[in-house]
Amino acid sequence: RRQLMQWIAQREDLWIQPKVDGVAVTLVYQHGKLVSAVSRGNGLQGEDWTEKVRLIPGIPHLLTDASSSLVLQGELFLKMTDHRQRTRGGVNARSVVAGEMRRHQPSPVLSQIGLFVWEWPDGPKTMPERLEKLKEMGFAMTADYTHAIGSFADAEKWRHDWYHGPLPFV
């Protein structure tokens, strides 16, 4: 705890997000079109989930930002209604998503999967710009759950809120 307090105290422009329980995916857009969705896999090689990801309603196929290349990293998660981590725990949500992404034939579960973007490697330099751009592209959840912090107490407050309060994910 003390090390984390010191680490936070030595930094500026810190932001916090909840750890969304799901499976990691990297989306690649070329000239605004979704061309690739790949799992993290074993760290060396991932699984190509492009066709399945195109069937997930909340993930845009086309972006108005027509930059030559855009890479987003995030978490595919099982959508929940008012999930409370403290009382309900993980409810096997990660396994449900992983299983659906590995199925040979898509099922209705795909409509219950969302995406939380947690990284945009070549995105805007400042977090407010990055969050605004993500919102414009259709990834508003990231902005809703990314907050500036200036102290360990701020981090504790968000952790407490996310652990005890209702969330749309595990």
**Extended strands (E) in 81-154:** 113-119, 147-149
Of all helices (H) and strands (E), which one includes residue 16?
Answer: strand 14-16
Q: For this structure, is 33 an active site residue?
A: no
Q: Which of the following is catalytic: 19, 79, 125, 133? A: 19
User: Which of 100, 117, 104 minimizes the C-alpha distance to 29?
Assistant: 117
User: Which of 77, 48, 155 minimizes the C-alpha distance to 146?
Assistant: 155
Residues recognised as catalytic:
19
